[in-house]
Amino acid sequence: KPTAENLRLAGQAFKQFNPQYPFEYTFVDEAYAKKFDDQKRTGQLATIFAALTVFISCLGLFGLATYTAQNRIKEIGIRRVLGASVNSIATLLSKDFLRLVVVALLIAAPLAWWAMHSWLQDFEYRVAIEWWVFATAGVGSVLIALVTVGYQAIKAATANPVKSLRTE
């Protein structure tokens, strides 16, 4: 039978046995939706702020890579004249940034695990925090850093070395 029909019949049966009490009901799915509404909203806000944080971090990393490439423009020009490949120069410029990302991951992963573990303590039934989640986040961070820094490194490595050395 449809839900409305069942509710009507249940209300009649309830009034037959307990006429002095009002027939009140709630649906379980609505109760759970209300119960976890705050968690859902918190998750949405965390996603928005995490995306904003990654974007701002990429801008900062891009700016730092641009600054580093500009400071080392003469070194890059000399290396290019002496026969260094674009790949070796891009690797040279990207290596320091990757070290920074790895150090940041080594600091952030335990803090993130602790924060997640503390948050999950509020729930009766909780999921396990698997190591591969942190590994995936780390690989993603390294890839984002490589793309961000790699663009500027390749741009500096493919620039005409004569222009950078002409001012000397």
At 1 the pLDDT is 64
At 41 the pLDDT is 92
At 73 the pLDDT is 86
C-beta atoms surrounding 28 within 10 Å: 7
Task: Please give the structure tokens belonging to residue 151.
Answer: 């663009």
Least confident of 43-47, 87-91, 136-140: 87-91
Share of the chain above pLDDT 70, in %: 98
Q: Where are the domains of the chain?
A: 1-35, 50-165
What's the whole-number mean pLDDT along residues 151-168?
Answer: 80
Q: Does the pLDDT of residue 72 top 80, yes or no?
A: yes
Q: Does the pLDDT of residue 10 top 60, yes or no?
A: yes
**Of 93, 82, 102, 83, which is closest to residue 151 (Cα–Cα)?**
93
What's the whole-number mean pLDDT along residues 139-162?
Answer: 88
If one compares 7 and 164, the residue with the highest pLDDT of the two is 7
At 168 the pLDDT is 57
What's the whole-number mean pLDDT along residues 48-57?
Answer: 95
Per DSSP, 125 falls in state S
DSSP codes of every residue in 56-114: HHHHHHHHHHHHHHHHTHHHHHHHHHTT--HHHHHHHHHHHHHHHHHHHHHHHHHHHHH
Task: Please give the structure tokens belonging to residue 58.
Answer: 């990429």
At 81 the pLDDT is 87
| Per-residue confidence band for 93, with pLDDT thresholds at 50, 70 and 90 | confident
Report how far residue 168's alpha carbon sits from residue 166's, in angstroms, rounded to the nearest whole number: 6
